[in-house]
Amino acid sequence: MSAKSPAPIIYPLTEPRQRWQLEVGAGHVLQIYEYGRADAPPVVVLHGGPGGGANAVQAAMFDPRAWRIICFDQRGCGQSTATDTLAENNTHTLVADIEAIREQLGIEQWHVSGGSWGSTLALVYAITHPQRVLGMILRGVFLARQHDSDWLYGNAGVARLFPEFYREFTASLGVDASHRSSKEVIASAWQALQQPTSPQGLKAAAAWALWEARISTLTAKSGLLDHVQRDPNGMNAARIGTHFFHHGFFLPEGFILEHLNAISHIPAIIVHGRYDVVCSLNNAYDLATRWPCAQLKIVQDAGHSTTESGIARGLVAAGHVFQQHR
pLDDT digits (tens, 9 = 90+) for 145-192: 999 999 999 999 999 999 999 999 999 999 988 878 899 999 999 999
Task: Please say whether the dihedral angle defined by the alpha carbons of residues 280, 294, 323 and 52, taken in this order, is positive or negative.
Answer: negative
pLDDT at residue 255 above 60? yes
Catalytic annotation on 276?
A: yes
Using pLDDT thresholds of 50, 70 and 90, give the confidence band for residue 79.
very high
Using pLDDT thresholds of 50, 70 and 90, give the confidence band for residue 4.
very low
Which residue is catalytic, options 28, 276, 280, 305?
A: 276
Q: Where are the alpha helices (DSSP H) in 231-305?
A: 234-246, 255-258, 281-289
Which residue is catalytic, options 116, 119, 172, 216?
A: 116
Q: How far is CA 173 from CA 101, 186, 193, 199, 256, in A?
A: 38, 9, 11, 12, 31
Using pLDDT thresholds of 50, 70 and 90, give the confidence band for residue 222.
low
pLDDT of residue 218: 87
E strands of 80-189, at which residues?
110-115, 133-139
Helix (H) or strand (E) segment spanning residue 43: strand 42-46
Q: Which of 268, 308, 318, 304 is nearest to 62 (CA)?
A: 318
**What does the buried/exposed string (b/e) look like for 220-245 if buried means 16 or more CB atoms within 10 Å of the residue's CB?**
eeeebeeebeeeebbbbbbbbbbbbb
pLDDT of residue 233: 76
pLDDT digits (tens, 9 = 90+) for 268-312: 999 999 999 999 999 999 999 999 999 999 999 999 999 899 999
Q: Is the peptide bond before 82 cis (omega within 30 degrees of 0)?
A: yes
Which residue is catalytic, options 80, 172, 304, 305?
A: 304
To 10 degrees, the CA torsion angle through 191, 195, 197, 203?
-10
Q: How far is CA 115 from CA 50, 230, 301, in A?
A: 11, 24, 18
> How do 28-36 and 68-73 pair as beta strands?
antiparallel
pLDDT of residue 229: 63
- The one-letter amino acid code at 18 reads Q
Catalytic annotation on 148?
A: no
Q: Which of 105, 225, 132, 142 is nearest to 150 (CA)?
A: 142
CA atoms of 44 and 114, how far apart (whole Å): 8
Catalytic annotation on 320?
A: no
3-state secondary structure 170-197: HHHHCCCCCCCCCHHHHHHHHHHCCCCC
Least confident range from 61-65, 141-145, 227-231: namely: 227-231
Identify the structural domains of the chain with CATH numbers, from first to last.
18-144+252-325 (3.40.50.1820), 146-250 (no CATH)
Q: How far is CA 228 from CA 123, 225, 238, in A?
A: 29, 5, 11
